[in-house]
Structure 1
């Protein structure tokens, strides 16, 4: 099983507000295979040592460094924690707090030290998690399957999940008909399928309602249309067509991956189309300084940022004016990372992508709420 605890967009926006004399952001590759996790622990030890060294070099008081070192040492010794991992681990720490997030994405090992957290890799995890749940429903069966990029698909046990439509409504079949019955024929079948769907929805809500992992529906009519109309679960618009009854978990995972890829691709394509439309209205920018000012005053509607590059410096809290730095240190921070955080706090849609997905191969591209 892939253990993930991805923060919500609201959590990331709150993390962007954290300020401290020592904010350490560490991202490292991990593995769900417990027998191979030792390499990740060694990497974390090295990255934490590098971060502590930067803080010592910046002259931070030892009484502020000791809590950080103790928290990292405690985490490294927590065998139960390391037994349940995903593909990457994010660790955000100050002398007063530590947050960990297990991510489905495969991220590059890195450490960043500043007065605020470096959050762009977390944005990538929110944008494209590369994991999903497949909800396979028919009159005869229902199951929830977890898929990821390189692990076998796994069916999850869901408390109170009905076995099939008939047992969900206390019948031997939902297709019975006859004179004198209150619910007959197609009308009765639809009513009972609705009862079945509502029970499935109630069982899944505690698991899926607040998850950022996409949900792909595998079903045929009329179950598909009923579920989409009666459930508030965050389903992707495209359905795996055909009856899922005879598909293995692995076959469902294979069928879901093109759906996920298409969904992610459509989000970027939609951004590019709107970017081109708004360009003629002076409501776009790929300039870091312009984007920083717009983000500071809540002027960004949608934003693409390059996950890999880091431009160090400062963004003025009041004016949004940018000061660029020649290299990173324990005082400055990633400017684009800060722009993304400010944009999120004002309700912008932020996508962390590869540079090739950004117009003109820039470090960012913003669609604005008003002309500049």
Structure 2
């Protein structure tokens, strides 16, 4: 299982070859579809269609076999299909292969060109779409950096105690404590154990949580991202009391983090964090509307492509599930359009998205009805 990160994205974005194949399929995490191998059959169907098109393009059979070998190995790997998220992205050429499991429900799509089609993954690179996850128990601390599309564990053992006993001393017998929550009548959590009074137990847990809070403080304050906590419900009020970080999300993922794998942790955290992830996008949309009658915005695709290559684009809005075919002449800075992908035409939306990210801009995939200027499939907010 592999999830996309910035280094992977740059590698895909810069890769060139005579024949590059990109395949996207929706997948299911569990249930009847997984048991019936629907995901596996879906990839088989897409690869069959791609192979047919490669033959129609007179691609050498040996190259087709090299491209298809790792794809067929995935199709035949039964264990691989037991660990899926919402979408699978595959990138293959005769000397390159990567696949990424991501929490994005792709529409089935494939793309054959001299470059990879990375537009569906572009939002994962938006810094404002990032957040942190702290999965904490009295005997374990895990920390993750995440986006809407990815999750990455971060090693924090050198920053925080990894368990309560490291902070308050090994004479504290955490396993001897039992906790139960009185659900009726709003009564508070009761602490029962052999290590001391309820108040002492709370003090020691708070000591541990304060040590975690202080250990993560410098790391968290570098980017000031939303922090989502995953812990058992009786612990969260104590963590809130110990917390000094200003961007702690007030809603907790309730439960034992050990009951979820990394994808499950990401899914639960995303449900809480998602409202925070669209704030910058919405601000940029409003800015576009405010400046729509000025030279600081454009919805002309040809102008946008040229502006992107000059590093003039601050924010690019691309209509999701849309496409614009054509070619771009870098030397003449000219765009030519076509109705299809034939004769060497490429996705101009894919080109603009890649180049905008490369030049330090932001890219948002937006449904048609939410585009700032709906008459065009691309809108750009330019740098001043």
TM-score, scaled relative to structure 1: 0.71
Q: Give SS of 1:25's match.
A: strand
Shift in Å at residue 59 of structure 1? 2.1
2:196: which partner in 1? none
Q: Give SS of 2:243's match.
A: helix
Q: Structure 1: how far apart are the matches of 2:20 and 2:168?
A: 55
The answer to whether the Cα contact below 8 Å between 1:13 and 1:342 also exists between their aligned partners in 2 is no
Shift in Å at residue 291 of structure 1? 0.7
Shift in Å at residue 334 of structure 1? 1.1
1:195: which partner in 2? 211
* 1:172-191 equivalence runs, <5 A: none
State whether structure 2 residue 36 is matched by structure 1 residue 17: no
Distance 1:143 1:195, change over 3 A: closer
Q: Structure 2: how far apart are the matches of 1:330 and 1:98?
A: 25
Q: Structure 2: how far apart are the matches of 1:116 and 1:243?
A: 40
1:339: which partner in 2? 352
Unaligned runs of 5+ residues in structure 1 are 149-155, 174-187, 230-236
1:352: which partner in 2? 365
1:233: which partner in 2? none
State whether structure 2 residue 120 is matched by structure 1 residue 114: no
Q: Give SS of 2:321's match.
A: coil
Q: Give SS of 2:379's match.
A: strand
State whether structure 2 residue 372 is matched by structure 1 residue 366: no
Q: Structure 1: how far apart are the matches of 2:72 and 2:271?
A: 42
Shift in Å at residue 281 of structure 1? 4.6
Q: Structure 2: how far apart are the matches of 1:337 and 1:126?
A: 14
Q: Between 54-63 and 189-198, report the one with greater CA deviation.
A: 189-198
1:88-127: CA deviations, max 9, x gaps? 1000111111110001111111111111111111124556
Distance 1:131 1:270, change over 3 A: closer
Distance 1:192 1:28, change over 3 A: closer
Q: Give SS of 1:6's match.
A: coil
Q: Structure 1: how far apart are the matches of 2:271 and 2:38?
A: 32
State whether structure 2 residue 273 is matched by structure 1 residue 260: yes
Q: Give SS of 2:18's match.
A: coil
1:295: which partner in 2? 308
Shift in Å at residue 346 of structure 1? 0.7
The aligned length equals 324
The answer to whether the Cα contact below 8 Å between 1:71 and 1:98 also exists between their aligned partners in 2 is yes
Unaligned runs of 5+ residues in structure 2 are 147-152, 174-203, 231-235
Shift in Å at residue 335 of structure 1? 0.7
Q: Structure 1: how far apart are the matches of 2:42 and 2:323?
A: 21
The answer to whether the Cα contact below 8 Å between 2:20 and 2:113 also exists between their aligned partners in 1 is yes
Q: Structure 1: how far apart are the matches of 2:60 and 2:252?
A: 64
Q: Structure 1: how far apart are the matches of 2:135 and 2:326?
A: 49
* 1:57-76 equivalence runs, <5 A: 57-76=56-75
Distance 1:344 1:265, change over 3 A: closer
The answer to whether the Cα contact below 8 Å between 1:9 and 1:344 also exists between their aligned partners in 2 is no
* 1:9-158 equivalence runs, <5 A: 9-33=6-30, 35-36=34-35, 38-124=37-123, 134-135=133-134
Shift in Å at residue 191 of structure 1? 8.1
Distance 1:355 1:135, change over 3 A: same
Distance 1:357 1:36, change over 3 A: farther
Q: Between 17-26 and 74-83, report the one with greater CA deviation.
A: 74-83
* 1:180-259 equivalence runs, <5 A: 194-198=210-214, 201=216, 215-217=227-229, 221-225=240-244, 228=245, 237=247, 239-240=249-250, 259=272
Distance 1:299 1:64, change over 3 A: same
- Which structure has more strand as a fraction of its residues? 2
2:319: which partner in 1? 306
Q: Structure 2: how far apart are the matches of 1:70 and 1:192?
A: 51
Q: Structure 1: how far apart are the matches of 2:122 and 2:53?
A: 25
The answer to whether the Cα contact below 8 Å between 1:31 and 1:37 also exists between their aligned partners in 2 is no
The answer to whether the Cα contact below 8 Å between 1:24 and 1:93 also exists between their aligned partners in 2 is yes
State whether structure 2 residue 340 is matched by structure 1 residue 327: yes
Distance 1:132 1:281, change over 3 A: closer
